[in-house]
């Protein structure tokens, strides 16, 4: 990278963006076209970054290709949804077979019961399950289930937590679903229980990710989760684990890895085999509220809840692709990679580290423990932006915010290459990583 010692972080970012623009002229043209019919040329906020986002034309295995002819090793895995990589043969075969039978059948199909069996077998906390179209929708329905069951109106979330498009609890402009929220503090059991105990009679549920995904791959401590489990059980509050991302972290989700069982679990992302997917499930007494044989059944609509493409792809994903053995291997690879990257950062003595569990990790430009979103917010955000652009130039696709999610087709050479790229970054940019 040939970075001089007296360069500033701001000028380094400016140089990186100029180089990025020069290398991606066709992506710029596509973005300019999108500016006409869409606000900001965008229909998914997380994919936008300045000066303009890349435009991809395809993917194969662990690799992505953009409109300007560049190849990237995919270390983002569609924000955990692309766990199987691109065009996995087993999933492709399942989707083609479903297509040949007709797409929108308007009734029950042969795929949904076997997919439901596979889901409930993998995640024992989900005694019964219902399907939806996204993780956001699954969380909306899980919260609504808890409110209907308990008759209470308040919902406890964590400050700076995230549960989908209408559940963003960080500072800034949000369009959240209009529930009556109370706020806990992630990984601060005393502060969270103080809020919970003061209003327990009115709280229907507590919802949280057992590891923050988009919030920086920050794991909840086992005592924090156990304390919430005990308090919610004591007060008849429904405990919901949002495992839309973290369900990949062991054969039975992160809840299985830490040994704590919630009342309800929500899923999304990779479980649908790369198709639009969400699911919510839990104890039979909660999910039975949706049994249409009951006179007082709760309604649950959704034209595409049981669409054949997702049902077929999801079944293949769980039973043929992300088997328990594959889950164990991928997460072991992720743990090893994170340790390797942190060793590189420690050797260079830079303010940079990688957090996470298993196949999910995130970079933070700072020293010291990162145990909460407040800790992460103290990091050097411009340095993280520089890392993003340097990794793009090196041929590695990650999230601009520093998140990574590994996919199954990644091989040893891909991990070696990424580690080498990170090492080049910390060596060449060392003077900026303070």
Q: Phi and psi at residue 63, in whole multiples of 5°?
A: -125, 150
**Residue tagged active-site, from 20, 63, 72, 162:** 162
Structure-token match 């990162």, residue found = 370
> Can 242 be counted among the known catalytic residues?
yes
| Bridge partners, residue 157, by sequence | 183
**Residue tagged active-site, from 20, 111, 263, 269:** 269
User: What tokens were used for 410?
Assistant: 């990644």
Sheet holding 71-74, edge to edge: 56-60, 63-66, 71-74, 396-397
> Can 390 be counted among the known catalytic residues?
no
User: What DSSP character marks residue 159?
Assistant: T
| 220 phi-psi bin (left φ>0, alpha ψ -120 to 50, beta other) | beta
User: What DSSP character marks residue 264?
Assistant: E
**Residue tagged active-site, from 66, 74, 242, 375:** 242
User: What DSSP character marks residue 7?
Assistant: -
Helix (H, G, I), strand (E, B) or coil at 65: strand
Helix (H, G, I), strand (E, B) or coil at 269: helix
Q: Where are the alpha helices (DSSP H) in 306-372?
A: 308-316, 324-348
Q: How many CA within 13 A on the CB side of residue 428?
A: 14
Residue ranges of E strands in 173-255:
180-184, 203-208, 211-212, 218-219, 238-242
> Can 190 be counted among the known catalytic residues?
no
Helix (H, G, I), strand (E, B) or coil at 194: helix
User: What DSSP character marks residue 320?
Assistant: I
- The CA distance from 252 to 261, in Å, is 11
Angle formed by the axes of helices 412-428 and 381-394, nearest 10°? 130
Angle at 284 between CA 279 and CA 287, to 5 degrees: 45
Q: How many CA within 13 A on the CB side of residue 178?
A: 0
CA distances from 7 to 15, 51, 367, 433, 434 (A): 10, 21, 22, 12, 13
- Report helix, strand and coil shares of the chain as percent, to nearest 5: 45, 15, 35
Positions annotated as catalytic residues are 162, 242, 269
């Amino acid at each position: 990278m040939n970075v001089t010692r007296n360069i500033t972080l701001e000028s380094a970012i400016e140089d990186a963006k100029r180089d990025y623009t020069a290398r991606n002229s066709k992506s710029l043209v596509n973005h300019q076209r999108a500016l006409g019919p869409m606000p900001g040329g965008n229909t998914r906020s997380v994919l936008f970054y300045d000066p303009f986002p890349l435009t991809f034309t395809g993917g194969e295995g662990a690799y992505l290709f953009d409109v300007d002819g560049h190849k990237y090793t995919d270390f983002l895995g569609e924000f955990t949804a692309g766990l199987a990589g691109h065009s996995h043969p087993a999933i492709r075969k399942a989707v083609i077979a479903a297509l040949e039978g007709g797409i929108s059948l308007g009734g029950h199909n042969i795929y949904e019961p076997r997919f439901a069996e596979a889901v409930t077998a993998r995640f024992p906390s989900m005694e019964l399950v219902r399907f939806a179209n996204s993780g956001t929708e699954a969380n909306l329905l899980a919260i609504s289930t808890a409110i209907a069951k308990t008759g209470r109106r308040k919902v406890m979330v964590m400050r700076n937590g995230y549960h989908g498009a209408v559940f963003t609890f960080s500072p800034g402009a949000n369009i959240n679903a209009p529930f009556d929220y109370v706020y806990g503090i992630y990984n601060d059991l005393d502060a969270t229980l103080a809020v919970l105990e003061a209003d327990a009679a009115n709280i229907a549920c507590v919802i949280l990710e057992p590891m923050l995904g988009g919030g920086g791959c920050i794991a909840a401590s086992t005592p924090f989760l156990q304390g919430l489990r005990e308090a919610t059980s004591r007060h008849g509050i429904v405990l919901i684990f949002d495992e839309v991302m973290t369900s990949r972290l062991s054969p039975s989700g992160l809840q299985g890895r830490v040994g704590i069982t919630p009342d309800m679990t929500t899923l999304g992302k990779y479980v649908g085999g790369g198709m639009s997917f969400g699911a919510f499930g839990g104890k039979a007494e909660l999910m039975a509220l949706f049994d249409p044989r009951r006179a007082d059944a709760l309604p649950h609509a959704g034209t595409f809840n049981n669409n054949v493409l997702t049902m077929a792809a999801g079944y293949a994903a769980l039973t043929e692709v992300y088997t328990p053995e594959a889950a164990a291997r991928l997460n072991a690879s992720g743990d090893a990679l994170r340790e390797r990257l942190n060793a590189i950062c420690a050797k260079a003595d830079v303010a940079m580290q990688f957090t996470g569990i298993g196949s999910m990790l995130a970079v933070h430009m700072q020293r010291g423990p990162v145990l909460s979103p407040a800790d992460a917010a103290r990091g050097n955000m411009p340095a993280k932006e520089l890392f993003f652009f340097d990794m793009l130039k090196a041929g590695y696709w990650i999230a601009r915010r520093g998140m990574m999610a590994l996919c199954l087709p990644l091989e040893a050479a891909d991990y070696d290459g990424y580690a080498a790229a990170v090492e080049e970054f910390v060596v060449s940019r060392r003077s900026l990583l303070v």
